[in-house]
Amino acid sequence: MNPSDSSQYTWAGRFSEPMSDLVKRYTASVNFDRRMWRQDIRASVAHATMLARQEIISAGDLADIERGMAQVGREIENGSFVWSLDLEDVHLNIEKRLTALVGDAGKRLHTGRSRNDQVATDIRLYLRDAIDELLPLLRQFQTSLLNLAEKEAATPLPGFTHLQVAQPVTFGHHLLAYFEMMQRDAERFSDCRRRTNRLPLGAAALAGTTYPIDRHFVAELLGFDGVCENSLDAVSDRDFAIEFCAACAMLMMHLSRLSEELVLWMNPRFGFIRIADRFCTGSSIMPQKKNPDVPELARGKTGRVYGHLTALLTLMKGQPLAYNKDNQEDKEPLFDAIDTVSDTLCIFAEMIAGITVNPEKMRDALAEGFATATDLADFLTRKGLPFRDAHATVGLAVRRAEELGVDLAQLPLAELQSFSPLLDEEVFAVLTIDGSLAARAHIGGTAPEQVLAAISRARRG
């Protein structure tokens, strides 16, 4: 093959026969990596700007490249750009079209770089942009949680351990637990962004380049916080993608926990909430059904995101330095994790905002399971009985109430005093649901006033 035959492949001069169609399909990534076209153009223009500044290419070449890239961007935006499987990926497709538009200037663009550091740069730019778009979605979901929590700050709800009635909490307090989880998720994404925001460009294939490039200038143009210090690591590192997928997996785990509760609460045996019809589906055979498909599907999609994290960890575990073709497989898991998390956050923000609460059902559920038993033990402890003795005493009272089929608050005072003479009329105020809630009036507690204070802090933060 002579150089004029190698137009389809930048590396074709080394080979004596063309690539087979099967290998083309197997190795091509353009069908999924073309979503990075904006980042590829931005990085290429920054690279060209640096090359011109360093007098590696001429000012005229830079002007042609800028003009050509602007045209390429317009064509992709309006759908007239022709993507070619023969050109393998987003990078070669754009470079080929650029060269067709501006000639030799397009051929000079790749001076001092490799596709290895080019793709590493593009994917970091893409992920950085994705995190910047994802964080506001997370905040919108948190706002929905805060709004509903504020509305239901004093609504009693059974708090469960082991899925058994444990103690009264408020529905607002319960929702704020998920707000806290989301807050940690936001911190993880922000931390991941910092480690993502390092420039690999300039590492070239693996060893750097012989041209007098200025990597810090390119980093400044592209908004990176700094450069990757080692050229081998720069082109082969995918820690940032793994870390992002780990943060996505944690976020989806939190949403899956919430989904499980929404499904339970919507069940008529609970009846605590109603999810708006627009987030539910019916049955093809049972006309009465209203199924909570959105939270159910979120539970399922959580496993999908877990799979992407496992795929990336497995992808990287056996790779020697530096770049290997294996790394082409990093994009589809990463892209799908971004899409899945973003879509789930969007729909959950709307779904939570549309939830209707049934406070009567919640309060009725608190009448089952002796939710104020710990309050009774605390009352005895304040009267001077050691807590372990108080615990045993209340256990006997619970057993008696269970035999009679009544709640602790329904036991007559004389019956209660048979378990401890320390019990008096004051105990009935302690055994109420509202009294139990109000008593937990410390930071982090479930008292309505503390729930409102927590919401106020969250809104300020």
Q: List residues with catalytic annotation.
A: 162, 283
Residue 265: closest CA among 381, 185, 413, 155: 155
Does residue 164 come out as left (phi exceeding 0), alpha (psi in the -120 to 50 range) or beta? Answer: beta
